[in-house]
Structure 1
């Protein structure tokens, strides 16, 4: 989904003559809202539940067997929805370099997903891919690395441009 959305974003921005990072930053500002509501929908539907646990707030899901499980969809709604939205919103108030909101979202989503995957039941057809890491964690790691690298690059470019002026 993220790759397809990114391709569509680049295509749209170029077709409309709008700077790509301007569109990407706008998308990054609103995407967490959709992610948060999507995860609440997952919770209501009883899908994408967490691993079996004995924490006080565990829940039994209709398709999750008799085990009490983490409501990982709510963890994701809080992290990918509320936390990421708040983070991007706060950064937007600091006049960041172009692309900062987008790359903050990419790195932040990777971090949030990496955390939640420790509580989420791995996809049945995939299980754990590498040691105790799920496919979601393996896909999140490059997002974190690329996001942080691009953020550093953006701020470095701005510093160099300010030094030249």
Structure 2
């Protein structure tokens, strides 16, 4: 039976400064955004639309603010409002983990809308440009969750080869759900969206594919993750993550239908 190693969350220290693995995973996410963004800007249809690698540095600054502020506020408002109201100073302790993807997603949408307005670009075009770079950044964040022993999975069959005991939770074999989400919501979704985005697509199609695809992937992988809380809807029990993902699925389907219908017309 595998056991979560519970590694030290601090990767290394320089004097009084401690660098956490969780922070390093976010740094890796931002670096991959720059690398993939430069590759995307050089794709013929992106270059023809006026995208240049030099656009990325300023865009990343806005994106970092959106991810951190939106992700943290999403965690506070969507998942643990009671805890953070009782411990308000913990809101700023982002190095301990606790970042909501859905909150970060909203934060990035707002940040990119501001960047688009500043640069005179179409907001839809900006969303389509950045969509393929998001999933791998998300995967890095989930690896950070795993290192921090956060987001434990639901109980698993002990015969499952990769079932894992999380000593910080209990002695029950569990699914390593952060790894599932890194692979499915992150890596697999990246491959699908990146391949789709290599050719010219109707406006908003790439962004809609990412949004809908993430919603579907997250809804499925939530079945293996211990829910933060569950809600009862139409006779069904769904987790908080699934509830927040359903609007993304609906938007992705509707947006793809509308954008292709307009494109054909």
2:251 aligned partner: 146
2:205 aligned partner: 100
Question: 1:19 Cα deviation (Å)?
Answer: 1.3
1:118 aligns to what SS in structure 2? helix
CA-based RMSD of the aligned residues comes to 1.2
2:203 pairs with 1:66:
no
Give ranges in structure 1 of 5+ residues lacking alignment: 161-165
Equivalent in 133, 144, 148 of residue 45 of structure 1: 148
- State the TM-score, normalized to the length of structure 2: 0.57
State the alpha-carbon separation in 1 of the partners of residues 247 and 125 from structure 2: 23
Deviates most, 104-113 or 84-93: 84-93
Question: 1:29 Cα deviation (Å)?
Answer: 1.1
User: 1:6-155 maps to which residues of 2 (within 5 A)?
Assistant: 6-54=109-157, 55-123=160-228, 126=229, 128-130=230-232, 131-155=236-260
- State the TM-score, normalized to the length of structure 1: 0.90
Q: Deviations over 1:54-79 (max 9, x none)?
A: 12211111322111100111110111
Question: 1:113 Cα deviation (Å)?
Answer: 0.6
State the alpha-carbon separation in 2 of the partners of residues 88 and 75 from structure 1: 18
Q: How many residues are aligned here?
A: 157
Q: Which has the larger Rg? A: 2
State the alpha-carbon separation in 1 of the partners of residues 246 and 153 from structure 2: 20
Q: Which has the higher contact order (CA 8 A, sep 6+)?
A: 1
Q: Deviations over 1:122-142 (max 9, x none)?
A: 11xx2x211421011111111
Give ranges in structure 2 of 5+ residues lacking alignment: 1-103
Higher strand share: 2
State the alpha-carbon separation in 2 of the partners of residues 107 and 62 from structure 1: 35
